[in-house]
Amino acid sequence: MVLPHAIEAVPAGDRYARGWHCLGLATEYKDGKPHGLNIFGKQLVAFAGDDGHVQVLDAFCPHMGANLASGEVRGNSLVCPFHQWNWGANGVCTHIPYATRVPPKARIQSWHTCEQNRLLFIWSDYEGAAPTPETAIPRINACFSDEWTPWAVRKITIQTNCRELVDNLADAAHFGPVHGSPASYFCNTFVGHIGYQMFHGSQSELLGNTLVADSAYFGPAYHITRMTAEVDGLPLHSVLLNCHVPINQDSFELRYGVMIKKTPGLSDDQNREIAHAYVEQAHQSFFQDVEIWHNKTRIDHPVLCEGDGPIYQLRDWYRQFYTDLARLPNDLRKEKVFELREGVWRTLSEVPPDAISQLHTI
């Protein structure tokens, strides 16, 4: 007698993924004001001083506990609203207006940040290690080209663990039932800190026909897609941003955005309208998943069938971001390739021509 499968789910624990997490458009933080951030189970504060660099600090002043997000920016320092202690970008107190000496313990955590592709990123690492050149966010030349519209970005809060979102990278089977866009071809490649997906679809209810989506997670939380589709009989080239930052283990901020290659003959305003309309379509697409996420349960050992693809292999790749650096597996840099062609999954020794990513050439 075959017994019912018991669903198992280990609590997510107290770690957040090691890697760069996107906080949206960098310009949003350069208005001369502090910005409170509720992420990684903590209260943080972002600000840009006169030098234009966006810094992130722990939000609570160690003097008497005030929230620095309620303070003000002066020069390159953040000033506490309670007693006006001044905090520099490195988290060290630089001035106390009613004291001649700053206590040596007057320092708070300063987080690594970077700007790339007109976006702001924050680095998280449970062990406290600094980012390495290997994990640098790759440049998207289209972000700096007049041939493309600027990012049109939207943010929503999702009430579940962020692993549910990352599972989509390998879940080819859900595209038809959920999004009305079944995969005619699908391939995953996992190598180092990058997880690739190549998707071909003959039709899409939301994102056009003859769809080709070339996408990748660069680390645990920053996902970029180069997409081509036919919309109203015309080719549309777009770059999609899909990034998340955990609020806690049961919720995360999802930011998604679109840039489109401008259509010759249309004004900048008309091209921006197309980009914003595409964001709205992406919004509908995400909410098709969100409705399911908000009503499902966490499951660590799903019962899979032969058509499900490399779900477990994806989770093995994703686990690296929650593992001590000294305990990472030795084969992380080896390409692992899984292809769905004509309804059959195959494990390959090299990436097939249909799945060669062009993300680095945008």
What is the pTM assigned to this prediction?
0.91
Mean pLDDT of 67-85: 96
CATH number of the 141-361 domain? 3.90.380.10
CA-closest candidate to residue 110, choices 37, 59, 74, 76? 59
pLDDT value at 314 more than 70: yes
Mean pLDDT of 92-103: 94
Output the six-digit token pair for 357: 């990513």
The pLDDT value recorded for residue 1 is 65
The Cα 163–Cα 318 span in angstroms is: 9
The pLDDT value recorded for residue 203 is 63
pLDDT digits (tens, 9 = 90+) for 29-57: 999 999 999 999 999 999 999 999 999 99
The Cα 61–Cα 87 span in angstroms is: 9
Torsion sign across C-alpha atoms 354, 359, 361, 362: positive
In the chain, what percentage of residues exceed pLDDT 90?
A: 65
In the chain, what percentage of residues exceed pLDDT 70?
A: 95
Tell me which DSSP letter residue 159 carries: S
The pLDDT value recorded for residue 232 is 67
Mean of all residue pLDDT scores within the chain:
90
pLDDT digits (tens, 9 = 90+) for 111-164: 999 999 999 999 999 999 999 999 999 999 999 999 999 998 989 999 999 999
pLDDT value at 6 more than 90: no
pLDDT value at 207 more than 60: no
The pLDDT value recorded for residue 56 is 98
CA-closest candidate to residue 243, choices 229, 226, 263, 224? 224
The pLDDT value recorded for residue 39 is 97
Q: Where do you find CATH 2.102.10.10 in the chain?
A: 19-135
The Cα 150–Cα 52 span in angstroms is: 20
Mean pLDDT of 316-345: 93
The Cα 244–Cα 22 span in angstroms is: 7
CA-closest candidate to residue 23, choices 276, 210, 245, 248? 245
Q: Does the domain formed by 19-135 have CATH 2.102.10.10? A: yes
The Cα 66–Cα 76 span in angstroms is: 19
Q: Where do you find CATH 3.90.380.10 in the chain?
A: 141-361
Burial-class residue 288 by CB neighbours within 10 Å (0-12, 13-18, 19+).
middle
